[in-house]
A and B are shown apart, each in its own frame.
Chain A
Amino acid sequence: MADYEPTIIAFVCNWCTYTAADLAGTSRLVQPANVRMVRMMCTGMVDPKYIIKALLEGADAVLVSGCHPGDCHYINGNLKARRRMKLLKEILPKFGFDERRLKMTWIGASEGIDFAETIRKMTAEVKVLGQNDLRTRMVL
């Protein structure tokens, strides 16, 4: 498994974490190339089925990241997301996924360094978790 490179889908909000990722880029903060970002307007619009879809399609982990509590561009969408993710984590094992394959963070618009660090850490964590073997297990 030494050469295993996980794929991580990140659903990030346009106002905070996507901006932070832009800032990390502008600041040339080198990160592992494992993350693919899907831009959402707010983490509040991240439907749990998007996450399950990503995992079913073979992503090894999913990151959901938005504004810090209280800083949401839409008042409190991030808090609604937090609630949903918490519940989703409870039922993920029923779908055959380790709940550690889903992670939620808050990364503010100015926190480019945090963003790069989060990506580095998460990639390392998912490497330890191992490949999402659902695709091979499932009879589609």
Chain B
Amino acid sequence: MRPRIGFYICHCGTNIAGKVVVAEVRDSMEHAKNVVVARDYKFMCSDPGQEMIQKDIKELGLNRVVVAACSPRLHEKTFQNACRRAGLNPYFFQQACVREHCSWVTKDPAEATEKAKSLAMGAISRVGFHETLFSREVSVNPDVLVVGAGIAGIQASLDIAKSGCKVHLVERDPSIGGHMVQFDKTFPTLDCAACISTPKTVAVAQSPNINLLSYSEVTEVKGFVGNFKVKVRRKPRYVMEDKCTGCGICAEHCPVTVPNRFDENLGQRKAVYRFFPQAVPITFAIEKKDTAPCRTTCPAGVNVQGYTQLIGQGKYKEAVQLIMERLPLPGVLGRVCPHACESSCRRAEVESPISIRELKRFAADRVDLEDIPLPQIEDRPERVAVIGSGPAGLTAAYYLRLKGYGVTIFEALPAPGGMLRVGIPDYRLPPEVLDREINYILRLGIGLETGKLLGADFTLEDLRQMGFKAIFVGIGAHKPLRMNIGGEQDFSGILQATDILRETSLGNPQSPGDRVLVLGGGNVAIDAARTALRLGSKEVTIVYRRTREEMPAYQEEIEDAILEGVKISYLTAPVFVEGSEGKVTGLRCVKTVPGPADESGRRRPIPQEGSDFVIACDAIIPAIGQEPDSECCSASGLEVGRRGRIVASARCGQTSAPDVFAAGDAVMGPATVIEAVGAAREAAEAIDRYLRGEQIEAAESLSVSENGTNWRDIPKNAQRMPRASVNRIAPEAAKTSFAEVSLGLSEDAAMAEAAKCLNCGGCCECMECVRACERSAVDHSMVAEELELQVGSIILATGFDTMDATRFRLYGYGRFDEVYTGLEFERLNNAVGPTGGQIVMKNGQKPKSVAIIHCVGSRDVNHHVYCSRVCCMYALKYGHLIKEKAGHETEVHNFYIDMRCFGKGYEQFYWRLQEEGINFVRGKPGQITEEMSDSGGKQLIIRVEDTLSACMVKVPVDMVVLCTAMEARSDTADVARIFGVNQGADGFFLEEHPKLGPVSTATDGIFLAGVCQGPKDIPDTVSHASGAAAQALALSMRGKVEVSPVTSWIDPDICIGCQTCIKLCAYSAIEFNGRKGISEVNEAVCKGCGSCSGFCPSGAARVKHFSPKQVFAEIEGILDEVI
């Protein structure tokens, strides 16, 4: 059928006709091919305009219609419906935009007219190739998703629920109410915000039609209007909603105190919290961040943050119990641990790390282990032998016994403890402390046989014969290394450091000599030197090949040794031992210089030729390292590797014999106590799995792995405090006795130190809440869940952020104590806020004068050009509240640009406040400074130009409130992406039309409610939300919706089945039909984006209404007119 086109051009009053010579366009089109009639009219979108089209269709037999008017985004539907009414398929209509893209933006009328002609010609040319299309009707799921449960989301949900439709209300915070429940009063009625909002929040909780998903976030949206599939992630709140009664006992027991975000960080809350007592839901939540670095750094995975917090609460017993979950020797490690935790402590970013090791010792010293009840142990029949009673052996025995195994320890020396007893001198680790902790471990029912040396007194095979089902080997590294220098074997007076330390500890102290040389730079060397001093040696010198920086001994040990009078000769290497008459007389040494770095990263000492000299002495104590004395093990058939180390799996400690496990120095070579404890704990777990017949290698390591660095922020205002100092015996007294040198922390110092903890991990997982909760509602093992919801429409009510006031440096927020944001001031006013509703300064006194600064970030070309629409009114409200609460004599100064009191009753409120004696200054302050007042206190000075009197004024006040701008949520772009909506230039979500479509978006079925669309006060927000609810309900009630027929179509006669389109389709809407050998579009899923048609190599894939013929025709039409 030949096209019969009707062309119409709209004047749009003078909007188009003021620039485009409408008659010229009309006349020009009248003669275009296939045009039957061309007309112009004042307002084509009006009733008479539309009727004109309908009449022509009927009377002139038009089968195509082109209207040149505004943007098709505005009126395409209007004219399509007019065609439909006249019996013409609406897809035979085409609109040319000659207003937004032409008359409004073109300066020269002649140019505008030419452009209009060209655009009109494009449309006329195109419409000839249009085809009949029919909209599809799809059913609408009546359920609605509301995102955000502030007052907008609540109102929309309640409205929808009233109709009987189901609402899924998703809120990312643990409780609902949004910003409104943070307020104290609302303007202009001065209603209490809680009084008017709590009935609504309670109604949400009680409505059977509302499925409240608090502490949840939408992660994905699929589908289309009427049929959305939404994925919601329910964050773990670690408290079960169905069990928690909201009694709050958990929070009373929680040791972790953090700033309360709900109070704008003015107040504090616990890690287990709810925002306020009337919160809906009333369920508590636990804030967990990624595991604190101190915990993840500890080789034994001790919950450092947990015991630090418990110590801060004075709960020493609980702290020790928490430590013993990972480490059975708290008092020992509290003294000798190299504290890797402290090196990762984030408090160092404020001033210095917390003295974690001293805190551990403090707690262990305060607790009598006899008071700690023995745990319930369910006995198992298998028995395990533990060889060696050092830290590895004791740890393995302890955890194996806790698991119910019968454990017997075999120790070669006469007393248990291994290196803890015979390697670490008593002045560092008193034997009483060690005995106390070993006794506690043995009290669990562990057998101990001393004086039993593996290889000499028994063999591994003997143990198997005795019925031990598994054997743990923790024999340590006690065999000293040789120096391999001349004369080492030839003279008396050469004594091994380990021998001296062992004999001294076992009660056979013997002075090595008067002038003693100790060789080496490790802890053993320092220990030997200090022990020699205590044994009566007059002069003790440590000879070390490198410099102090490279010494492996702990810094504090080196310092103590120097304080006690030990001399250290750095960069000195021994060459050979000199002696006479079979006795040592001196050590020939050579000076060295640091050379290039070796594998360990330390600079290799290079001897200097000709620099040799002799240090006279009568005893030499080599302390250059030890290795495991593992001959007994190799004799028993265990594989032994380099330097005598037993070969064992790093993951489980299993050796070459399946029933023998090993850990500690025997495997690693000389290392730290805490590493031995960590490895032995792993081995104990592995033995348990071995005996149960399970897979021996653990799925994951027991040590707490780092799960990220999303820790609590370090407060910007954290006070710098000195690191707790430890009391110690004076060096003069110390060097004559074996009494413990360090006296530990005082209680006050420990409390102060624990209080410095930044609680990096949020919840410290001390489990106090679990013990406190009578309903067993706390579950720390909870994980995030994912739900899938099916809904027909979505309402976004995600609210706003307030602008960060620290961006206004000249207003001093964050620097001066008495500068607040509006929201902070709301919390000061609120009865459940940090001051209980008192308007007081940080010093507890009422302010005598308050300045309120309007438009902080709003109406400001440097920040947001828009008006936040609520600040003038809440500033007036603050004025009233200040007068009411702080006293009528309190001065209130408003610094404003314009007063905008536009709502119902607002102007009256403004008048009332003027009568209440509020001062108004028209002008925006330039700067706020803090100065000392005459009376000695601090005052804030506001400098401002009073633009009504045109003079600069300085106003001294006690307190300043900044009315910071409302702005789009910082993650609006991400949310917009998830839901497929747009952001406007101001950052808020973009509505379909600023005036006529303020609740709809460009995406069908997704609506906006409240401030996420732009700043609003509460009445406007509530109206907007009800509007959104009505839009969503309109869809639900009708039950079906028309879906655009603009989808892809693959011509089966052309398709070659290459399947390129299938990979291109973002919606998986194309499937391959193997029988026909072609690709086919599933129209129900296709969104009509045309990714397939843009690429189809054979040209088979096309988008209906955007076919190549149509686009070509439009291009030709446009360009024909131009050229």
Contacts and interface: CB of A to CB of B under 8 A. Distances in A.
Interface of A: 7, 9, 14-16, 18-19, 21-22, 24-26, 28-31, 33, 36-42, 44-50, 53-54, 57-59, 70-71, 73-77, 80-81, 84, 108-112, 116, 135
Given A22-B73, A80-B1064, A36 B1118 contact: yes
B983 A110 contact: yes
A74 B222 CA distance: 11
A124 B984 CA distance: 28
Interface residues of B, number: 56
Interface in B69-106: 71-74, 97, 99-102, 104-106
Contact of B977 (A22, A71, A80): A71
B115 interface: yes
A33 B73 contact: no
Contact of B984 (A9, A58, A110): A110
A7 B1119 contact: yes
A90 to B, nearest CB: 16
Interface string B948-985: 00000000000000000000000000001100101111
Nearest to B105: A31
Contacts of A109: 982-984, 990, 1002
Contacts of A116: 105
B1115 A54 contact: yes
A107 to B, nearest CB: 12
A77 B1090 contact: yes
Contacts of A9: 1115, 1118-1119
B629 interface: no
A21 B102 CA distance: 10
Interface in B96-130: 97, 99-102, 104-108, 111-112, 114-115, 118-119, 122
Interface stretch (B701-709, B1007-1015, B1104-1112): B1104-1112
Contact of A41 (B115, B980, B983, B1106): B1106
A74 B97 CA distance: 24
Residue of A75, A84, A108, A111 with most partner-chain B CB within 10 A: A75
Nearest to B71: A22
Given A25-B101, A33-B115, A38-B1114, A111 B985 contact: yes
A67 to B, nearest CB: 8
Contacts of B1087: 74
B104 A50 contact: no
Contacts of B97: 22, 37
Given A31-B106, A74-B1067, 6 more contacts: A22-B97, A42-B1091, A45-B1091, A45-B1103, A74-B1087, A80-B1064
Contacts of B112: 33
B1114 A22 contact: no
B84 to A, nearest CB: 21
Contacts of A7: 1119, 1122-1123
B709 to A, nearest CB: 25
A57 B104 CA distance: 27
B1088 interface: yes
Given A21-B101, A41-B1089, A53 B982 contact: no
Interface string B794-818: 0000000000000000000000000
Given A15-B1002, A25-B105, A135-B1123, A74 B1066 contact: yes
B327 interface: no
Contacts of A112: 985
A110 B100 CA distance: 15
11 contacts: A22-B74, A22-B97, A30-B107, A45-B1090, A47-B1094, A53-B1115, A59-B1119, A75-B1066, A77-B1066, A84-B1094, A108-B982
B1089 A45 contact: yes
B497 interface: no
Contacts of A29: 105
A73 B118 CA distance: 29
A38 B102 CA distance: 13
Contacts of A70: 977
Given A41-B1090, A50-B1108, A58-B1119, A80 B982 contact: no
Contact of A77 (B118, B976, B1091, B1115): B1091
Contact of B990 (A26, A49, A110): A110
